[in-house]
Amino acid sequence: MSVEVLDGATIVDFVEEEEAFNVSIRDRFARLDADHDGLLSLAELLKELQSLRVIETHFGVDVETDPRELARVHELLFVQFDHDSNGKVDLEEFKSETKRMMLAIASGMGFLPVQMVLEEGGLLKIAVERESTKLAA
């Protein structure tokens, strides 16, 4: 975990660089897919959802205090990812929903930089790292 400052534009840049974004998504998916069956179960996706926890609190819903409420939120999010409702999330579903979610986060943040606690290896963290490499170049 680290505290980073990011803004909406950083996330949009990251998502719109199709090739780099796809590589990051594939990489993230492979790491979440603990049993390597090419699909994410709720338990496997949970790691990603937990890394996005800041977003839930960002929108004013403090779900951290009640584990049952948190579990319900995770189930609802999983259903959102699982477009064909087969109980598993494949790479395409993961990619399109992550993209949608990140763009929603970006528009929620606007242009004011926001301080967030980011998980190492998480997609938001990768977005910040890419942005700072670009600035350094």
Interface ranges with Ca ion (CB under 5 A): 33, 35, 37, 39, 82, 84, 86
* Residue 73 neighbours by CB distance under 10 Å: 16
Residue 42 vs residues 1, 23, 51, 75, 116: alpha-carbon distances, Å: 22, 22, 14, 8, 25
Distance in Å, CB of 18 to Ca ion, minimum = 22
Answer positive or negative: Cα dihedral of 64, 72, 75, 6. Answer: negative
- Rounded to the nearest whole angstrom, what is the least distance from the CB of residue 99 to Ca ion in the complex? 16
Shorter beta-carbon distance to Ca ion: residue 2 or 86:
86
Q: What's the min distance (Å) between Cβ of 37 and Ca ion?
A: 4
| Residue with smaller CB distance to Ca ion, 35 or 129 | 35
Residue whose CB is less far from Ca ion, 42 or 54: 42
Q: What's the CA gap between 134 and 137, in Å, rounded?
A: 5
